[in-house]
Amino acid sequence: MRDAFHEDLNWISEQLVEMTRLAGSAMSRATTALLDADIALAEGVIAADQRLDDIRVQIDDRAIDLLARQQPVATDLRMIVTAMQMGADLERMGDLAKHIAKVARLRFPNSAVPAEIRPIIIEMDTVAKLIVTQTGAIISRKDAQGATQLVQADDRMDALHKQVFTLLLDERRQYGIEEAIDITLLARYYERFADHAVLVAHRVAYLVTGEWQTVEGRQPTDNDPQSTH
Protein backbone atom coordinates (compact mmCIF):
# COMPACT_ATOMS: atom_id res chain seq x y z
CA MET A 1 0.00 0.00 0.00
CA ARG A 2 2.82 2.39 0.86
CA ASP A 3 4.45 1.58 -2.47
CA ALA A 4 1.30 2.42 -4.37
CA PHE A 5 1.23 5.64 -2.36
CA HIS A 6 4.73 6.63 -3.43
CA GLU A 7 3.99 5.67 -7.01
CA ASP A 8 1.09 8.09 -6.90
CA LEU A 9 3.29 10.79 -5.37
CA ASN A 10 5.85 10.22 -8.12
CA TRP A 11 3.14 10.52 -10.72
CA ILE A 12 2.09 13.86 -9.22
CA SER A 13 5.70 15.05 -9.19
CA GLU A 14 6.10 14.08 -12.85
CA GLN A 15 2.95 15.98 -13.74
CA LEU A 16 4.29 19.07 -11.98
CA VAL A 17 7.53 18.81 -13.98
CA GLU A 18 5.44 18.44 -17.14
CA MET A 19 3.54 21.60 -16.16
CA THR A 20 6.84 23.54 -15.89
CA ARG A 21 7.72 22.30 -19.39
CA LEU A 22 4.34 23.33 -20.81
CA ALA A 23 4.42 26.72 -19.06
CA GLY A 24 7.95 27.41 -20.35
CA SER A 25 6.94 26.41 -23.87
CA ALA A 26 3.81 28.58 -23.69
CA MET A 27 5.90 31.57 -22.58
CA SER A 28 8.42 31.00 -25.34
CA ARG A 29 5.80 30.80 -28.06
CA ALA A 30 3.80 33.72 -26.63
CA THR A 31 6.91 35.90 -26.78
CA THR A 32 7.60 34.90 -30.38
CA ALA A 33 3.96 35.58 -31.27
CA LEU A 34 4.24 38.99 -29.62
CA LEU A 35 7.48 40.06 -31.30
CA ASP A 36 6.71 38.61 -34.74
CA ALA A 37 3.01 39.52 -34.65
CA ASP A 38 2.29 35.87 -35.46
CA ILE A 39 -1.42 35.40 -34.89
CA ALA A 40 -1.48 31.66 -35.63
CA LEU A 41 1.15 31.10 -32.97
CA ALA A 42 -0.77 33.33 -30.52
CA GLU A 43 -3.96 31.32 -31.13
CA GLY A 44 -1.99 28.13 -30.55
CA VAL A 45 -0.75 29.35 -27.15
CA ILE A 46 -4.27 30.41 -26.13
CA ALA A 47 -5.75 27.03 -27.12
CA ALA A 48 -2.94 24.99 -25.53
CA ASP A 49 -3.51 26.55 -22.09
CA GLN A 50 -6.39 24.13 -21.56
CA ARG A 51 -3.81 21.33 -21.24
CA LEU A 52 -2.28 23.02 -18.16
CA ASP A 53 -5.73 23.52 -16.65
CA ASP A 54 -6.52 19.83 -17.23
CA ILE A 55 -3.31 18.57 -15.64
CA ARG A 56 -3.94 20.73 -12.60
CA VAL A 57 -7.41 19.21 -12.18
CA GLN A 58 -5.90 15.72 -12.51
CA ILE A 59 -3.29 16.50 -9.86
CA ASP A 60 -5.97 17.80 -7.48
CA ASP A 61 -8.18 14.76 -8.07
CA ARG A 62 -5.31 12.33 -7.50
CA ALA A 63 -4.17 14.26 -4.43
CA ILE A 64 -7.63 14.27 -2.83
CA ASP A 65 -8.04 10.60 -3.66
CA LEU A 66 -4.68 9.89 -1.99
CA LEU A 67 -5.67 11.85 1.11
CA ALA A 68 -8.93 9.93 1.37
CA ARG A 69 -7.56 6.45 0.68
CA GLN A 70 -4.17 6.57 2.39
CA GLN A 71 -4.79 9.10 5.14
CA PRO A 72 -1.14 10.16 5.21
CA VAL A 73 0.41 12.12 8.08
CA ALA A 74 3.54 14.21 8.61
CA THR A 75 5.78 14.62 5.53
CA ASP A 76 3.53 12.62 3.21
CA LEU A 77 0.56 14.78 4.08
CA ARG A 78 2.58 17.96 3.65
CA MET A 79 3.81 16.77 0.24
CA ILE A 80 0.30 16.29 -1.06
CA VAL A 81 -1.00 19.65 0.16
CA THR A 82 2.07 21.41 -1.22
CA ALA A 83 1.77 19.63 -4.58
CA MET A 84 -1.74 21.06 -4.95
CA GLN A 85 -0.41 24.56 -4.25
CA MET A 86 2.35 24.05 -6.83
CA GLY A 87 -0.23 22.95 -9.38
CA ALA A 88 -2.17 26.17 -8.76
CA ASP A 89 0.97 28.30 -9.28
CA LEU A 90 1.87 26.51 -12.50
CA GLU A 91 -1.64 26.83 -13.86
CA ARG A 92 -1.46 30.56 -13.16
CA MET A 93 1.85 30.75 -15.07
CA GLY A 94 0.07 29.29 -18.08
CA ASP A 95 -2.61 32.00 -17.73
CA LEU A 96 0.07 34.69 -17.75
CA ALA A 97 1.65 33.30 -20.95
CA LYS A 98 -1.86 33.21 -22.44
CA HIS A 99 -2.36 36.89 -21.54
CA ILE A 100 0.81 37.73 -23.46
CA ALA A 101 -0.48 35.77 -26.47
CA LYS A 102 -3.76 37.69 -26.25
CA VAL A 103 -1.92 41.02 -26.43
CA ALA A 104 -0.16 39.69 -29.55
CA ARG A 105 -3.54 38.76 -31.05
CA LEU A 106 -5.14 42.08 -30.12
CA ARG A 107 -2.46 44.14 -31.88
CA PHE A 108 -2.14 41.92 -34.97
CA PRO A 109 -1.00 42.72 -37.68
CA ASN A 110 1.16 45.10 -35.64
CA SER A 111 3.48 44.16 -32.83
CA ALA A 112 2.57 45.60 -29.41
CA VAL A 113 6.26 46.09 -28.63
CA PRO A 114 8.15 49.17 -29.91
CA ALA A 115 11.64 48.51 -31.29
CA GLU A 116 13.61 49.91 -28.30
CA ILE A 117 11.67 47.73 -25.86
CA ARG A 118 12.10 44.50 -27.83
CA PRO A 119 15.52 43.64 -26.34
CA ILE A 120 14.09 43.89 -22.81
CA ILE A 121 11.11 41.69 -23.66
CA ILE A 122 13.48 39.16 -25.25
CA GLU A 123 15.58 39.09 -22.09
CA MET A 124 12.51 38.88 -19.82
CA ASP A 125 11.44 35.85 -21.84
CA THR A 126 14.92 34.31 -21.56
CA VAL A 127 15.03 34.83 -17.79
CA ALA A 128 11.45 33.53 -17.35
CA LYS A 129 12.29 30.36 -19.26
CA LEU A 130 15.55 29.89 -17.37
CA ILE A 131 13.70 30.12 -14.04
CA VAL A 132 10.87 27.78 -15.03
CA THR A 133 13.32 25.22 -16.48
CA GLN A 134 15.40 25.28 -13.29
CA THR A 135 12.22 24.98 -11.25
CA GLY A 136 11.33 21.83 -13.22
CA ALA A 137 14.75 20.37 -12.41
CA ILE A 138 14.37 21.38 -8.73
CA ILE A 139 11.04 19.51 -8.51
CA SER A 140 12.52 16.52 -10.27
CA ARG A 141 15.55 16.30 -7.95
CA LYS A 142 13.57 17.31 -4.82
CA ASP A 143 16.30 19.89 -4.39
CA ALA A 144 15.87 21.80 -1.11
CA GLN A 145 18.63 24.26 -2.00
CA GLY A 146 17.52 24.84 -5.57
CA ALA A 147 15.46 27.96 -4.85
CA THR A 148 18.56 29.81 -3.65
CA GLN A 149 20.06 29.36 -7.12
CA LEU A 150 17.20 31.34 -8.62
CA VAL A 151 18.00 34.55 -6.71
CA GLN A 152 20.23 35.99 -9.40
CA ALA A 153 17.78 35.30 -12.21
CA ASP A 154 14.92 36.70 -10.14
CA ASP A 155 16.90 39.86 -9.38
CA ARG A 156 17.60 40.19 -13.10
CA MET A 157 13.87 39.96 -13.82
CA ASP A 158 13.17 42.72 -11.30
CA ALA A 159 15.89 44.89 -12.87
CA LEU A 160 14.40 44.36 -16.35
CA HIS A 161 10.97 45.24 -15.00
CA LYS A 162 12.32 48.54 -13.68
CA GLN A 163 14.14 49.18 -16.96
CA VAL A 164 10.85 48.93 -18.84
CA PHE A 165 9.37 51.76 -16.74
CA THR A 166 12.52 53.86 -17.10
CA LEU A 167 12.30 53.52 -20.88
CA LEU A 168 8.56 54.25 -20.95
CA LEU A 169 9.13 57.43 -18.91
CA ASP A 170 12.12 58.61 -20.96
CA GLU A 171 10.96 62.00 -22.20
CA ARG A 172 13.07 61.85 -25.34
CA ARG A 173 10.86 59.01 -26.53
CA GLN A 174 7.25 59.69 -27.26
CA TYR A 175 5.24 56.63 -26.43
CA GLY A 176 1.52 56.56 -27.01
CA ILE A 177 -0.87 55.77 -24.18
CA GLU A 178 -1.89 52.50 -25.82
CA GLU A 179 1.75 51.42 -26.04
CA ALA A 180 2.24 52.37 -22.39
CA ILE A 181 -0.79 50.31 -21.30
CA ASP A 182 0.34 47.27 -23.30
CA ILE A 183 3.93 47.42 -22.11
CA THR A 184 2.95 48.00 -18.47
CA LEU A 185 0.76 44.90 -18.48
CA LEU A 186 3.20 42.77 -20.51
CA ALA A 187 6.06 43.57 -18.12
CA ARG A 188 3.85 42.63 -15.19
CA TYR A 189 2.92 39.31 -16.82
CA TYR A 190 6.59 38.33 -17.29
CA GLU A 191 7.48 39.39 -13.79
CA ARG A 192 4.56 37.53 -12.17
CA PHE A 193 5.38 34.41 -14.22
CA ALA A 194 8.89 34.42 -12.73
CA ASP A 195 7.51 35.13 -9.22
CA HIS A 196 5.25 32.08 -9.36
CA ALA A 197 8.09 29.87 -10.64
CA VAL A 198 10.34 31.01 -7.78
CA LEU A 199 7.49 30.35 -5.34
CA VAL A 200 7.16 26.80 -6.69
CA ALA A 201 10.90 26.27 -6.13
CA HIS A 202 10.51 27.53 -2.55
CA ARG A 203 7.65 25.08 -2.03
CA VAL A 204 10.02 22.24 -2.99
CA ALA A 205 12.38 23.36 -0.22
CA TYR A 206 9.43 23.48 2.18
CA LEU A 207 8.45 19.96 1.15
CA VAL A 208 11.92 18.58 1.72
CA THR A 209 12.86 20.45 4.89
CA GLY A 210 9.56 21.41 6.48
CA GLU A 211 10.98 24.93 6.82
CA TRP A 212 9.93 27.85 4.69
CA GLN A 213 13.29 28.92 3.24
CA THR A 214 13.91 32.59 2.98
CA VAL A 215 16.81 33.67 0.85
CA GLU A 216 18.76 36.44 2.55
CA GLY A 217 15.70 37.20 4.59
CA ARG A 218 13.48 37.62 1.57
CA GLN A 219 10.14 35.98 1.12
CA PRO A 220 9.09 35.22 -2.42
CA THR A 221 6.31 37.76 -2.69
CA ASP A 222 4.75 39.96 -5.28
CA ASN A 223 6.88 42.96 -6.12
CA ASP A 224 5.47 46.38 -6.61
CA PRO A 225 6.31 47.30 -10.13
CA GLN A 226 5.86 51.01 -9.65
CA SER A 227 8.12 51.33 -6.66
CA THR A 228 11.04 52.43 -8.79
CA HIS A 229 9.72 55.05 -11.10
Q: Which residues make up the interface to its own copies (CB under 8 A)?
A: 60, 64, 67-68, 71, 73-74, 77-78, 81, 84-85, 88, 95, 99, 102-103, 106, 165, 168-169, 175, 177-178, 180-182, 184-185, 188, 221-222, 224-227, 229
HEC profile of the chain: CHHHHHHHHHHHHHHHHHHHHHHHHHHHHHHHHHHHCCHHHHHHHHHHHHHHHHHHHHHHHHHHHHHHHHCCCHHHHHHHHHHHHHHHHHHHHHHHHHHHHHHHHHHCCCCCCCHHHHHHHHHHHHHHHHHHHHHHHHHHHCCCCHHHHHHHHHHHHHHHHHHHHHHHHCCCCCCCHHHHHHHHHHHHHHHHHHHHHHHHHHHHHHHHHCCCCCECCECCCCCCHHHHC
Nearer to its own copies, 152 or 214 (CB): 214
Nearer to its own copies, 152 or 169 (CB): 169
Give min distance, CB of 74 to its own copies, in A.
7
Give min distance, CB of 186 to its own copies, in A.
9
Give min distance, CB of 222 to its own copies, in A.
6
Nearer to its own copies, 40 or 221 (CB): 221
Nearer to its own copies, 81 or 159 (CB): 81
Give min distance, CB of 68 to its own copies, in A.
5
Nearer to its own copies, 18 or 60 (CB): 60
Give min distance, CB of 161 to its own copies, in A.
12
